[in-house]
Amino acid sequence: MIIGYARVSSTSQSLDIQHEALAAAGAEKIFFEKVSARSTTDREQLMLAMSFAREGDALIVTRLDRLACSVGDLHRIIEVLTKKGVGFKCLNQPGVDTDTSTSHLMLAMLAAVSSFEAGIWREREVEGVWMARAAGKYRGRPASIDPMKIKELKAGGMGAAAIAKQMRICRASVYRALAA
């Protein structure tokens, strides 16, 4: 059986193009996800796809970065699939599969490049924030906690847990505001 896996990073993005490509490639079952690939632990549909796959099946994705953004995660995923006897193919990057040792090498090299690119993007993002802060254009996220309101509620007899629930913040934030 051919199993497809499609992923986008945010809920505003569409999975339609990936779905069409996976279906055209013969995927009989497709797992969809709208979540960041920075970690595999939060990717429920990926875990379901991997547990659904049986020996002789193949997991396909449209692009390698849909599966993993780090070399370590990619190797762990491929290792799990290989131990189960499940193949892997990447549609838009020919030669990226688990059929031969050369394919494994190509997969490792592309994963390293992908991980390198992700690192560069993060560095640029941090650099951009620092430049914007220096220019006075970036102030960060506005404070979501009103310390005066917390103190008023506490003076009115409310406990920390009730204040946190009402203001939709954690109790630790209540204690910090009260201590200030």
At residue 105, the pLDDT reads 78
Residues 42-70, mean pLDDT to the nearest whole number: 90
Whether 57 has a pLDDT exceeding 90, the answer reads yes
> pLDDT > 70: what percent of the chain?
94
Give the count of beta carbons closer than 10 Å to the beta carbon of residue 115.
18
**Looking at the annotation, which residues are catalytic?**
9
pLDDT at position 139 over 90: no
CA distance 134 to 132: 5
**What does the alpha-carbon distance between residue 169 and residue 4 come to, in Å, rounded to a whole number?**
39
Specify which residues 2 forms β-bridges with.
Answer: 58
Percent above pLDDT 90 for the chain: 42
CA nearest to 114, candidates 157, 162, 148, 71: 71
Express each pLDDT in 35-54 by its tens digit.
Answer: 877 767 788 999 999 999 99
Average pLDDT, the chain: 86
What would the two tokens of residue 59 be?
């997991």
pLDDT of residue 94: 73
Q: What value does the mean pLDDT take over residues 2-27?
A: 92
The pTM assigned to this predicted structure is 0.61
Domain boundaries, the chain: 2-118, 147-179
**Confidence band (pLDDT; 50, 70, 90) for 95?**
low
Residue 93 has pLDDT above 90, yes or no: no
Q: What element of type H or E holds 93?
A: none
Q: Please, which pLDDT band fits residue 150 given cuts at 50, 70 and 90?
A: very high
Q: What one-character-per-residue DSSP string does 107-175 give? A: HHHHHHHHHHHHHHHHHHHHHHHHHHHHTT----SPP---HHHHHHHHHTT--HHHHHHHHTS-HHHHH
Residue that wins the pLDDT comparison between 28 and 41: 28
pLDDT tens for each residue of 109-120: 777 777 788 788
**Predicted local distance difference test score (pLDDT) of residue 152:** 92
CATH superfamily of 2-118: Resolvase, N-terminal catalytic domain (3.40.50.1390)
Mean pLDDT of 74-98: 84
